[in-house]
Structure 1
Amino acid sequence: MSARRYLVAAATSGLGFAVAENLVHAGHDVAICGRDELRLADALQRLSGHPGTVHGTKCDLTHGDGPQTWVAGSVDKLGGTLDGVFVNTGGPGPAPFAKTTDEDWLSGFQQIVMPAVRLVRAAHPHLAAGSAVVFSTSSVVREPSLTPELVVSAALRSAVATLAKSLSREWAPEIRVNHLIPGRIATERVRSLDAKRAAATGVAVEEVVQQSQAKIPLGRYGDAKEYAAAASWLLSPGASYVTGATLTADGGLVAGV
């Protein structure tokens, strides 16, 4: 299998890093970005030694020209058109609706929606025929009541899910566009959310984790590598007849059909 060229956004840790690692391990050439220079350098070090090559750029995707600059520079480094983009953004902190402000909603929009819009808009002219885009969101898109304190994230990530579905029609048949939902994956963000819930409810973090795992049919949090395997498949030619789809990698957490 020949090497393909991919962009993986926000890939210095968590799900983004796992997707980048899966791709370079398979021999593909990947460009990643991150806001923190030290975390970016550490990610590049950990991604070295695989069959594929990896390039990194310090970039804040929430800044207006950040996505365009990263895409243009990455296309030059990768040396050709793109075969896929993994669209990944950070999320706002937890808060019940009654405690959210206009600033929380506007900030969340700039953190979740606009980076996704700007990134795929910048990448589109460079995407080869047969390429793929995968948007990563959250299980709260399908079942918001799972984590009611993530109301801002649920509403705005739903906008990203709608964007994915819209582009799957607009960009067909040349480009496939899909939507991948992570459940409770053992990442730094999930650990932070568990810690905040524990502090708010006055229970141990271990108890919060046990309560969450009890709701998951597979009985555990997912590993980031398991999520990355699903993302890499959607980006690959192996999923050549899959577009406009929503795939959940959640251990059965989401109850809806």
Structure 2
Amino acid sequence: MNFGVKGRIALVLGAGGGLGSAIAKTLAAEGANIALADLDPKALEPIAAELAAAGVNCISLQWDLADAAAIESNIAAIEAKLGPVDILINNTGGPPPTPAAGQSAALWQKSFESMVLSVIQITDRVLPGMRTRGWGRIVTSTSSGVVAPIANLGISNALRLSLVGWSKTLAREVAADGVTANIVLPGRIATARISFLDQAKAARENRPVAEVTAESTGTIPMKRYGTPQEYANTVAFLASDLASYITGSVIRVDGGLIASI
């Protein structure tokens, strides 16, 4: 199937992680040129090498999303090497697991700047070009916690939900210009983040990690964690020409985990 993104420029935030790297590779396989961004440049090295070996035109950027001053220089570097961004994948890391109550203002502020404000500012930087060209895709990855809040992820539940309201509002503003904006909710996808959360819960409750993982997968109708590739397939579709009439949506990739409609 032709996704219609050959030659498009895709910026993938958090590309060094499990979800981001899978998304970058999937878009690259469809012919997109890829800008890889991550706080950890070493995490990008094997991904960039793999893409380069496959003949993909790409650029790697060390990018601290909490640093607003870095946005202009990083986008300018992408534009200079690849061209203007057509596809923006807003994929950010998560805050530490905490209750909602009793967290410091500094932690809330830091998390807001890296998880929410950065996404809005980067989108605002590339959006005018998308609207002028009459084509653009903005896909923002959040969490199943925005539908069914997850225990001990108070900061994540609150801040990621704000991105849902932002994306829905934005989608209506830019739809007539050929730009779509959608939210994708990962359920429990087998990444380092999920492994970390399972380990943290096991330590908190003084239980074996295997027991926590088995309990977790037992609540999923498919009885397993999803794979990064399964998640990336959905994101890549929303970033494609094929999804031109899908905007303002919230798509779950959760194996049926969220019980509500």
Q: Same fold (TM over 0.5)?
A: yes
Q: Secondary structure at the match of 2:59?
A: strand
Q: 1:66 aligns with which of 66, 70, 79?
A: 70
Pairing 1:92–2:95 present: yes
Q: Deviations for 1:121-149, whole angstroms, at most 9, x for unmatched residues?
A: 111123231211101100000100xx210
Partners in 2 of 1:142 and 1:116 — Cα distance?
20
Q: Find runs of 4+ consecutive structure 1 residues off by over 6 angstroms.
A: none
Aligned residues: 254
Q: Deviations for 1:135-165, whole angstroms, at most 9, x for unmatched residues?
A: 1100000100xx2100110000001111110
**Contact 1:19/1:232 (<8 A) preserved:** yes
The residue that corresponds to 1:228 in the other structure is 232
**Contact 1:22/1:229 (<8 A) preserved:** yes
**Contact 2:66/2:110 (<8 A) preserved:** no
Pairing 1:131–2:131 present: no
Partner letter of residue 66 of structure 1? A
Structure 2 stretches of 5 or more lacking a match?
none
How far is the alpha carbon of 1:51 from its aligned partner?
A: 4.9
The residue that corresponds to 1:190 in the other structure is 194
Identity across matched positions, percent = 34
Q: Secondary structure at the match of 1:211?
A: helix
Partners in 2 of 1:14 and 1:66 — Cα distance?
24
The residue that corresponds to 1:153 in the other structure is 156
Partners in 1 of 2:137 and 2:112 — Cα distance?
24
How far is the alpha carbon of 1:10 from its aligned partner?
A: 1.3
**Contact 1:27/1:51 (<8 A) preserved:** no
Partners in 2 of 1:132 and 1:236 — Cα distance?
8
Partners in 2 of 1:16 and 1:126 — Cα distance?
23
Q: 1:34 aligns with which of 38, 50, 60?
A: 38
Query: Cα RMSD between the aligned structures?
Result: 1.4
Q: 2:56 aligns with which of 52, 57, 62?
A: 52
Within-5 A mapping of 1:79-118: 79=83, 81-118=84-121
TM-score by length of 2: 0.93
Partners in 1 of 2:260 and 2:70 — Cα distance?
37
TM-score by length of 1: 0.94
